[in-house]
Structure 1
């Protein structure tokens, strides 16, 4: 989970100030309707797959790249499920970030689910009625991915 070089370059001049970063979440389903999850090496908890966009990279391409890099599974992003500005986070080193998440429903197209980098301890396919413990972030995205509802977004307060 090394910090990408382009973020290091920004941090060299921006310091620890809050950065708004484009992020993606990929909810990947196989032909059996199972969802792909990874158990994170930093927290030890099961999670949906995601990451940040590299400069010039389209969000759907980021989703597909992150899934392969973390799990060895090839997928295709089929539709945007939701967009959401997440709460700012502060890392142990003092860096502050806020992620603008775009979540995609993805379809697995090949590869074998395996730990493919240092971000995961385990990777696996799970039936949606037999998921391991997940945080609300992941559960909500899986739920939204299973519906035919329009793209979810946080509505603005209307006067």
Structure 2
């Protein structure tokens, strides 16, 4: 899905200035214990599945929407694993954002992992001992999801 309309409207007013946005992310596991990743079209990096919530959208359903929109995979939410703030991000078009991010562990239900929109150039399942290059935060979130007890981790 392209940039949401509400962000485009905000960008008309604030230009490339830093926006504080609600983000969601998923660490999705299949029955083989592999994790679902996508390669972002804007910067070529492999990531867990991430997205921006629409105004008024609940985090759980919003994340399930994002997973299916981006990968063609239908999942179920297991539980919230992490609440945290990302570092500021600058996109190739110079837009700057920072996210309050809610991260969930999810389980595959149906569908074939594939590029399902223009946000990714590749999508796939990866064994935990054969992950592509990922940023440190996403590696930490995958490990947290793997060992999660159901109690979310957050800065106290």
Structures share fold, TM-score greater than 0.5 = yes
The structure that has the greater radius of gyration is 1
- Residue pairs, 1:55-134, within 5 angstroms: 55-134=55-134
Shift of 1:92: 4.2
How far apart are the structure 2 equivalents of 1:90 and 1:134?
17
Conservation of the 8 A alpha-carbon contact between 2:42 and 2:92: no
Query: Are 2:156 and 1:151 aligned?
Result: no
Residues matched between the structures, number: 155
Aligned to 2:28: 28
How far apart are the structure 2 equivalents of 1:43 and 1:12?
23
How far apart are the structure 1 equivalents of 2:39 and 2:18?
27
How far apart are the structure 2 equivalents of 1:42 and 1:9?
21
Aligned to 1:48: 48
What's the CA shift string for 1:16-42, capped at 9, x where partnerless? 332210001110011111110111222
Shift of 1:96: 2.4
What TM-score do you get using the length of structure 1 for normalisation? 0.90
What TM-score do you get using the length of structure 2 for normalisation? 0.91
For the residue of structure 1 that corresponds to 2:130, the secondary structure is coil
CA RMSD of aligned residues (A): 1.5
How far apart are the structure 2 equivalents of 1:110 and 1:117?
18
How far apart are the structure 2 equivalents of 1:31 and 1:91?
34
For the residue of structure 2 that corresponds to 1:139, the secondary structure is helix
